[in-house]
Every structure is written in structure tokens, then in C-alpha cells.
Chains A and B, each alone.
Chain A
Amino acid sequence: MAGSVQRLWHKLFWPWAPASEREASEAIVRNLWLHWFPAKVSGRSMSWSYSFWLGTAAASLFVILTITGVMLMFFYVPSTERAYGSIKDLEYAVSFGRLLRNQHRWAAEGMVALAFIHMARVFFTGAYRGSRVLNWMVGVALLLGTLMLSFTGYLLPWDQLAYWAITVGTNIASQAPVLGSTMRYLLLGGNFVGQQTLLRFYVLHVFFLPAVIWIMFAYHMWRVRKDGGLAAIVPLRAMRQAEPKATPQSKSYSLFGLTPGTSVAVMSSMGLEERDQVASSPNLTRRMILVFLTVFNLTLLLAMLFNAPLEGPANPSVTPNPAKAPWYFVWLQELVSSTTVHLGSITLSGGLLGGILLPAILLAALIAWPFFDRSPANAEGVWFPRQRNRQNAVFAIVSVAIVILIIVGLYLRGPYWHLYWPWSPRPVLPRVL
């Protein structure tokens, strides 16, 4: 009886645990989904307080987005006549449609935020040095890809919010010198946001950009592996290498009999000792499942509590007052509007300075930063090392400035792009009836 209950339990729950070190590493190496993990992982790489598992959380969001996105594709029609209606159908008539769309929306906003916060973590821990420079650049590309993915998805509901946000966003892009208007024409498939734009954004959103991001993500992970894991192990490895090796006592046979002495000390290829590492199965896999499940629950909870925004159908002849770019670009819109100067009847557009030059400089600085970083090697893989104070301060100030601009643009800008406190009354906008 007890035996059959146990067998049933085993069948239902697969309570497998590796019986030996070898079995644990084979569980990783032989598995298609896990083979890109190391068989053993350092405790420091696994630590919550070092990485906060932000990259894993962002990747979890991407998995959630892919799954919910594919399901949404069964209902969404990328035509200007039917796109809005298909979203309304999802909201009101399709089983779990609203939940699906909400979760997709909040996961998307979360992925933009987490990709940035993950980058901030890597910066503050100086984890982009040496061989990790390449992966830092891949990471910047992944952030840009995430922004593009989110931006292209923003248009798809074809409501007023989408239509005018894309109009604002692409108008900012058109301010680029020489190529600006060509770029805008290429992106929109014409001179204004229309059916061609919707189709282009749809193909970019559901195929091209996700494919690029999946490939870059695979490379990103492979590089982590090739770089020996997270930079958290760098200080640990330095410590281990500096330590006098307590080599184990042993006896060996010589020609003349037994000789007392020491044997060689065994270190892993990462330069760590046995005791610094744990088997990836089940330690790493379990924690990954935990992170994924937590992120999934959070997005599901958000999807239940808050509805994804959806306004009236896109109407090119009525501009919402005010029309705002998506939140992660609203700081650019804020810069454009505040660098626009009115001198009497002359208006100097801030589009070039605020919309193109400044973000281009920031992006170039981000990519080139590792090459100008002169901090000593022992400032790598730890949070806020003293030697990197000045660099970290620059990064923090720019980040905070961007966040403040986003908050101003998102919450304080009211009708006619005037500033209002959240508690001060805003003018009532005229309606038809």
C-alpha cells in the first residue's frame, strides 16, 4: 500500500534529486534546455543581493511576453479598420482576453524598466570590464531592442493614445540631420501614420524584433558563460589566488620507499575552489523557476488589478490634448519641448538638440564607457566600490534626471502641455456634447 502510494507520488511529482555530484552535473549537461548553464555555479553568482536576479527577471518577462503575444496574435487583425475592434473584442468578448492583454502590457512596461535597472546594476558593480565589454554592448543593443519592441507594440491597438504617441515619437526621430525625414518615411511607410505603418510595426513587433532579441539574448547568455559567470566571482577569484594554498598532505611512493609531502591542489577552471561552488542542478534551476514564477505572479496580479490603457479609436483629425509619447520616450519629448525656444515670432525647434543630439550622446557614452573606465581591477564585481564613486555618480545623476523628466512629462504635463501639480485642478477640455 505504502509502496504504491509512493509510486503514485513519484509519478505525479517527479521528486528527483541527484544522488551524486556526477548525476547533478549530467542533469545540466545532457538537458537541451539547461546545457548552456555551467554544471557548477559559484555561490556569489547565485546571491540575491549581488544581482537581484534582474536579468533573469527581464528574460522571464520576455518569455511571458512571447507566450501572451502569440496568444494575442490569434485575435489581433493588423488593419486600420479592424485593429481597434479586435482589441475591443479581446477586452469584452474573448475569454481571458482582457487578462491576456493586460498581462502582455504590464510585462512589456516591466521589461523596459527591468532591462534598464539591470543595466544600472551592471554599471554600479563595474561588471562590464575586460572580456565582458562585448557583453555590455550586446546588453545595450538588447535595451534598444526592448525599447523598439515596446514602441512598435504601442501602435498596434490603433487607438488615440497609440496613434498620437507614434506620431510624436516618429516626429522626434525625423529631426535627425540628413537622414531624419528618410528614416521617418521608412518607418511609417509614408508621410503619416497609416495602414502601411501599422503593417510595418506589426511585422517588426511580432517577428523581426523578437527574433533579433531572442538571438541576441542567446548570445548574451553564452557570453556570460564564456566570461566565467557573473563578475561577482572576480573579487572572490582574486582572493582565492592570493591565498596561500593549504595543499593536502599525502604520501607518495618513491624508488626508495614512502615519501611524506603534499599533492596538487584542485581548483576549478573559474579559479574558484570546490567550496565556493554548488551544483547548478537543483540550486540554480530551482532559483530560476522561483524568479520566473514570482515575475509571472506579479504580472498576473497587475493584470487583474489594472487595465491596460485604451482610448477612443485613432482619429487623425482630432489630437488629444496633450499628446504624449510612450513613457520611456516622454523624457525625450520633455527635452524637445523645454529646449524649444520662442523668440518673438521665431521658433527654434528643440527637436534636434533634445530629440537627437542628447540621446545620441548618451547612447555613444553608454557604448564607449568601458573603454574610458580607468578604475582599478579590484573595483569589479562589488557594489559601489570607492574607486568608482565618480563614475557611479555620473551614471546615477543622468538616470535620476531621466526619471525626473519622465515623471514631469507623464504626470505633471496637462492640457496644452502646461505644468500642473497632481493635486491642482486642470482645465476642463471642450467636448462635443
Chain B
Amino acid sequence: MADPRDQSSERQDFDWLVVMSLIFLVLVAIGLWREHATAWRPWQRSFKRALAQAGRFEDARKFHPGIRQIWNPELGVVDRCVSCHLGYEWSGILPASLPQPLAPHPALPFMAHHPFGQFGCTPCHAGQGWATTASGAHDGGAGWEEPMLSRQLAASCGVSEGELIQMRCNYCHRRDQSTEGMDSINLAKKLFKRRKCLICHSVEGQGGHTAPDLTYEGDKDPDLFDFSHVSGPKTVFNWNVQHLMVAGTVSPKTAMPDYNMPPEQARALALLILSWRHINYPPQYIPQAAASPEPQPSASPAPNPAASPAP
């Protein structure tokens, strides 16, 4: 036991106090440095350079570093993806060959009806909009249920990235007969009719009642599926694909016939089924199927002031 009356013990306490104060200062310095050294900062510097190289000197001069986001409370969108993916709305001005994350978003035909400021990124691409790091935004980290629909994820499902994204298009377009640019989902909708699925299943109150209601089938807990007769990855998508091809193998007691349909048809139908989720988007985002088959966001919300300045 150290006797505090002892001068050396007092000295020791004082020395430790000095050591701890220095450690505190070092930790504060590291904290400040880490706050400054964010993942997006180098990308914003490269973007500024890319703007200058494209001859947009005025824009480059006005560009100030900082977290950027597309904010739309109606959709619950807080998409900070644009803190790194800075070239997204500079299509035609910045070269398409610019590497990611600076590359401009491809000018797809339906993009005119889906302005960035109104839709953000995650409603189509999924991922974690809040995040300001690549891994946080793309995989979402532990327990994140909606990872970004990447090329790799699409490849693991045997479909293209675009086909995977069509599943999310159908969150709003579910009542369309067919939609421009949604070939895979359009095919699935046709198949759903041709195979007369509604004789047994019901969707949104229509159809038979001998088979499960599929209205919100995409929300079903993956743990509730029986994977004991499914080969390959344990995903709900894979379960649905195999179940659509040979239902009797996946669920031995099922009354569903074996359709023996080609895999690409089964995959399209599986994506359609997974798109049937309980999504609370405001009505102006849901196209009226009867009125116009084309996607027309009718009452457009006001342009978003929080979005980054348009070029």
C-alpha cells in the first residue's frame, strides 16, 4: 500500500496526471483529424478537378466541400450517396468514361419522369442512404436488410443489375399492365396472367383462396421459408425460383403444379413476387394504371431545395 504522506506517492500521482493529460490531448487530436479525414473528401477534390477539366471553371470555383444529400421526407429519402457520387446529374457535360463514384448517371429514357431531386437514389438502387462511407452505403453493415442492388448481387441471382432494379420499380408500378423499361417485370406480369395464378392465389383481394395470399409476399420473413429442399443459396429469391420451376420438390406437400418453366421466366416471376411489398409511398408517386400506362408522376412535389444544385 502506497502511503500518500510519502512524497514519492504524491509525485507519482502528479506524474500520472501529466501522462493522462497528454494522452487526452493526443486522443482529442486524433478525434479532430478523423473528423476531417472523411471518405468523401478526396472524391470531392477529384470532382472539382474533373469539373475544371471539362471546362466548367465557374462551377469548379463554386464547389465547396461538405456532405451532400437528396432529402425527400415524402419518400423517407435521405440519400447522402451524392456526397461521393457527385457527377450523377452532369450527364452530357462530364464524360461518361469518368470512373465511379464520379461518373454521371446514364441518361436512360425514363429518367425524365424520375428527377433525382424528387426520387433520390435508394428508392431504385436500395442501400443505405444515410451513410457517408462506401461500405456503409453499399452493404449497410450488420443487420441491414436492404443492401444496394449491385452487379455482384444481380449476378448471384442470375439476373442483370437492371432486372434486379426493376423489382423496385414495381413498388410504384405494381398496378401497371406493362411499363416502359421494365421488360423482365412485364414478362412476369404476362406469365402471371397466362398461368392463371389467381385461380388459387389472391392478390389485393382478387383471386382464389386455396393458396396463400401474395399481396405482400415480398415482406415475408426469410426465416419462415423451408429451405430443406432448396439447392443453392438460402435466399427467398432462390426459394421462389425453384418453387416456380418444380413446386413439388421444394414443398413436397404443395398442391401447386410443377410448371417446369424456363429459369429466366421463373426468375422474372420471383422478382415480381418479391416486389409485392407494403410500401407507403404517397399517392402522387403511384401511377394510375387505368389512366395512363406510361409512368407519369401526376402531382409533382415542389423541386427539392435540399438537393445539390443542378448544373
Contacts and interface: CB of A to CB of B under 8 A. Distances in A.
Interface in A275-290: 275, 278, 283, 286-287, 289-290
B17 A286 contact: yes
Q: How large is the interface on A (under 10, 10 to 19, 20 to 34, 35 or more residues)?
A: 35 or more
B130 A85 contact: yes
A138 B35 CA distance: 42
Interface in A390-413: none
A99 B31 contact: yes
A257 interface: no
Contacts of B164: 433
Contact of B143 (A89, A275, A312): A312
B236 A296 contact: no
A297 B131 CA distance: 28
A44 B4 CA distance: 9
Interface string A251-290: 0000000000000000000000001001000010011011
Interface string B95-135: 00000000000000000000000000000000010111100
A310 B31 CA distance: 21
A277 to B, nearest CB: 8
A283 B274 CA distance: 68
A234 interface: no
Nearest to A309: B142
B14 A286 contact: yes
Contact of B236 (A91, A304, A319, A432): A432
Interface stretch (B43-51, B171-179, B184-192, B220-228): B220-228
Contacts of A364: none
Given A44-B1, A92-B136, A429 B234 contact: yes
B3 interface: yes
Contact of B2 (A47, A294, A321): A47
A312 B145 contact: yes
Nearest to B219: A317
B24 A433 contact: no
Contacts of A433: 147, 149, 153, 156-157, 164, 235-237, 274
B261 interface: no
Contacts, number: 132
- Of residues A309, A311, A432, which shows the largest number of chain B Cβ atoms within 10 Å of its Cβ? A432
A168 to B, nearest CB: 16
Interface string B205-237: 000000000000011011101010000001111
Given A297-B24, A430-B236, A320 B143 contact: yes
A415 to B, nearest CB: 9
Interface in B6-35: 10, 13-14, 16-17, 20-21, 23-24, 27, 30-31, 34-35
B62 interface: no
Interface string A282-326: 010011011001101100110010000111100101111100000
A430 B4 contact: no
A47 B1 contact: yes
A286 B13 contact: yes
A159 interface: yes
B253 interface: no
Contact of A300 (B1, B31, B80): B31
B222 A48 contact: no
Contact of B35 (A89, A96, A278, A309): A96
B5 A92 contact: no
Contacts of A283: 4, 10, 13
A301 B133 CA distance: 21
Interface in A89-136: 89, 91-93, 95-96, 99
A430 B234 contact: yes
B93 to A, nearest CB: 28
A289 B14 CA distance: 10
A283 B130 CA distance: 49
A77 B130 CA distance: 16
A160 interface: yes
Contacts of B128: 88
B272 to A, nearest CB: 14
Given A49-B1, A290-B17, A432-B274, A318 B221 contact: yes
Nearest to B3: A43
Interface string A27-71: 000000000000000011011111000000000000000000000
A300 B27 contact: yes
Given A286-B14, A319-B223, A432-B222, A161 B31 contact: no
A290 B164 CA distance: 58
B266 interface: no
A85 B20 CA distance: 36
A429 to B, nearest CB: 7
Contacts of A99: 31, 35
Nearest to A307: B141
B31 A312 contact: no
Contacts of B225: 430
Interface string B141-179: 111110101000100110000001000000000000000
A11 interface: no
B295 interface: no
B82 interface: no
A361 interface: no
A343 interface: no
Contacts of A321: 223
A96 B34 CA distance: 9
B124 to A, nearest CB: 15
Nearest to A81: B76
A294 B20 contact: yes
- Of residues B5, B132, B157, which shows the largest number of chain A Cβ atoms within 10 Å of its Cβ? B5
A93 to B, nearest CB: 6
B1 to A, nearest CB: 5
22 contacts: A48-B2, A88-B131, A91-B130, A93-B130, A96-B31, A160-B143, A286-B17, A289-B17, A290-B13, A293-B24, A294-B16, A297-B27, A310-B142, A311-B143, A318-B145, A318-B222, A430-B235, A431-B222, A431-B236, A432-B145, A432-B222, A432-B274
Interface of B: 1-5, 10, 13-14, 16-17, 20-21, 23-24, 27, 30-31, 34-35, 67, 69, 78, 80, 128, 130-133, 136, 140-145, 147, 149, 153, 156-157, 164, 218-219, 221-223, 225, 227, 234-237, 239, 274
Given A50-B1, A430-B227, 16 more contacts: A43-B1, A43-B3, A47-B2, A49-B1, A89-B78, A92-B80, A96-B35, A278-B5, A283-B4, A283-B13, A286-B10, A293-B21, A430-B239, A431-B235, A433-B149, A433-B157
